[in-house]
Structure 1
Amino acid sequence: MGRNNRSWFPGGMYHITARGNRKQEIFRDERDLKKYMQYVTAARQVYPFHLYAYCLMGNHVHLLIEMIDDSPSVIMKSIQSRYARYFNNRHDVSGHLFQGRYGAEFIDSIFYFLFCSRYIHMNPVEANLVRSPEDYRWSSYNAYVTRSNPYHINTSKTLQYFNTPHLTYRQYVTQEKYKAPL
């Protein structure tokens, strides 16, 4: 019996996750991380979507995306299959790299959208890899708090909620006492 198709629609936003098979590492070094982001960039050119946040961890991936004309399954198939072939060839391994189907949580409110952005950017801190999210190179956090944005993250949708001198995006992400500014 086949899988059920996931519903989606243009303008739908999703928190996408993908984990290594048996929780194994899917990134062994910086070259692997760069290659994954190259495949994300290539997928955006063929299947346009808005990328609001990402975080590449050793054994899993987080993406916060908004659909334009193509489904998350088409986009993720493009990214994941290309990366798995690259990884297996480069590291001379075979078999499944990713554990099952990617996860896709539908973002049904701006509160959840902002929560996911915070969650994604704090992932390396929560995993005790770094003390502060700006210290982690493989997330989109620095696109929000510095001018560094090599993967053309769409920051405007998120930052429009932080146009107040009372709360910056940095404060919202790093200080638990701050709630979403809505």
Structure 2
Amino acid sequence: MPNYTSKSLRFGRYSEPGRPYLLTTVVLARQPVFLDWSLGRHVVTELRRAQASGRVTSLAWVLMPDHLHWLIELHSSSLANVIREVKSRSARSFNRHTGRTGPLWQTSFHDRALRREESVVAAARYVVANPLRAGLVKRLGDYPLWDAVWV
């Protein structure tokens, strides 16, 4: 398996307005800080802020204990700017609330542009089913840190 560095993840990254993207970002050292679901509200607030700004349409997301999957349609910003702002603002809020200092998120993120023929709804179902596949809950409705526009 190739060894991807944060630099190689950014190589060739292109932000195309109107295209759906699946973004994944990971908590530093994969610490499961969002096992405390109330702490995840800091991230949820920033996802909603990004949507309200008009830069993205948030199609589906799930905040797992140590990472975030976010399916968006990009509008008026770059992927890097959108994810950087969400990570920065959520980390500041999280740190203020918990008394912690330092970074919350790993510096890089993974993005995958959905092809025109791919089903956005199928991608959204995959995203929100993560807590079920991970065995965190038996029913998706029991997991509080997810949303999708089709619900």
TM range (shorter): 0.7 to 0.9
Secondary structure of the structure 1 residue equivalent to 2:108: coil
Shift of 1:4: 4.5
- Alpha-carbon separation, structure 1, partners of 2:13 and 2:91: 22
Larger radius of gyration: 1
Q: Specify the SS of the correspondent of 2:52.
A: helix
Question: Identical aligned pairs, as a percentage?
Answer: 26
Q: Give the stretch that moved more between structures: 123-132 or 25-34.
A: 25-34
Determine the structure 2 residue equivalent to 1:133. Answer: 140
* CA deviation after TM superposition for structure 1 residue 102, in Å: 1.6
Which of the pair is proportionally richer in strand?
2
Q: Which runs of 4+ in 1 moved over 6 A?
A: none
1:59 to 38, 59, 66: 66
Letter in 2 for 1:80: K
CA contact (8 A) 1:26 1:97 kept: no
Distance 2:62 2:117 in 1: 20
Q: CA deviation at 1:114?
A: 3.4
Give RMSD over aligned pairs. 2.2
The aligned counterpart of 1:34 is: 41
Bigger relative contact order, structure 1 or 2, given CA contacts below 8 A and separation 6+? 2
Give the match for residue 25 of structure 2.
18
String of CA shifts for 1:64-108, please: whole Å, max 9, x gaps: 000111112111111100111122232222222112312111111
Q: Which moved more, 1:109-118 or 1:74-83?
A: 109-118
Conservation of the 8 A alpha-carbon contact between 1:35 and 1:83: yes
Deviation readout 1:126-172 (Å, 9 max, x if unpaired): 111111222222112xxxxxxxxxxxx533xxx9xxxxxxxxxxxxx
What TM-score, normalized to structure 1? 0.69
Which amino acid in structure 2 is aligned with residue 63 of structure 1?
A: W
What's the TM-score, normalizing by structure 2?
0.82
Pairs aligned (count): 143
